[in-house]
Amino acid sequence: MAEIKVPELAESITEGTIAQWVKKVGDRVEKGEFIVELETDKVNAEIISEEEGVLTQILAEEGDTVLVGQTIAVVEAGEGTAPAPKAEEVKEAPKTETPKAEAAPAPVEEVSGERVVASPAARKLAREKGIDLAAISPVDPQGRVRVQDVAAHGSKPAPQAVTPAPVATSGPMVFTPAGQSDRVTVEKMTRRRQTIAKRLLEVKQSTAMLTTFNEIDMTNIMALRKRKQEQFVKENDIKLGFMSIFTKAVVAALKKYPYVNAQIAGDEIHLNNFYDVGIAVSTEEGLVVPVIRDADRKNFAQIERDIKDLAGKARDKKLGLNDMAGGSFTITNGGVFGSLMSTPIMNGTQPGILGMHSIVQRPIAVNGEIEIRPMMYVALSYDHRIIDGKDSVSFLKMVKDLIENPEDLLLNS
């Protein structure tokens, strides 16, 4: 018999949430096979079996919070030919209480005599909502009902007595029309979303965050990119994008203004002598910030490859802890979603973040004449405790000047 335990993933991670069981009780399991997906604050981790055999017990349901070192399943020798006990049969002792007459359970099992295959979490949710599992159409090709299937099912909970909503005595009041719960869809925050919310709030509360703005005339850099794109792709097998250009401009500006690349540690200021630049990537589960290591030592093509690889890993939920650890400065590009201007929130203990935005054709004055130019607003949010206004404005102005004058950018690379 082998116990499947939650492994140690990183020093800062002590718990996680069971996201999905890819094996069910009674299934054959090979050594090294992926059997359960664990969602942590930072990444999703695949937990494997160290032994081959049959999965005989599942001790934590999908949606449960589990601790590092906790046993969540048991694998025993065998071929998986005989049905194994269900998880709830292993976990729950027989109840001895006499059921109350007025507390008859809602129908949640099929009446045909054949048991519906469903995850424990799905059964629990179905019981709470009074939904017949047999009436649910699962998306799993093997017919297993999961939590998402129950949540998406159109059945409504049994009518409940209308009671007056309690009056909040503190904090914001949330108004939900009594007796009209169908007008509100309640969705539980994922562990990752909870972590994002918590950390962003911590940054707002623990720093003296301020934002300065500027605008960049993108004419010259767009013309250069257009002229050199074919040659760049031919030589490097990847396109030249704006993110690598801005990354190189940021690194040059960080070298000139080192406090924008520093952090506060107690009553000390730590000036970083490395340039690990985080690139914010949007995923279905929220924003993640993988890091381009030693961006100062890489050329445009190497940075473009790093960005492509990290973005792909983020979308496929394959980012590791090392991909996101550290980082001395962050760049985020809301322009890909159409943002014209914003005040980005800093990432963790970093002292600054650069926000890029949409490129928009606007009339501007050039040598006393009005011309239509492709313009981008940029924003630098920074911690005023460590960065003075002069440095922050000068830093952003240098980024602007380097983008508007590509020759200078090449000389600083």
User: Catalytic residue numbers?
Assistant: 384, 388
Residue corresponding to tokens 């100062």: 296
Tell which phi-psi region holds residue 171, choosing left (phi > 0), alpha (psi between -120 and 50) or beta.
Answer: left
Neighbours of 351 (CB within 10 A): 26
Task: Return contacts of 88-91, CB within 8 angstroms, 24+ apart.
Answer: 88/120, 88/123, 90/57, 90/58, 90/59, 91/59
- How many Å apart are CA 136 and CA 81, to the nearest integer? 27
Supply 345's token pair.
């929130």
Task: Return contacts of 269-272, CB within 8 angstroms, 24+ apart.
Answer: 269/386, 272/328
Q: In what helix (H) or strand (E) does residue 352 lie, and over which residues does it extend?
A: strand 352-356
Write the burial class of residue 240 (CB in 10 Å: 0-12 exposed, 13-18 middle, 19+ buried).
Answer: buried
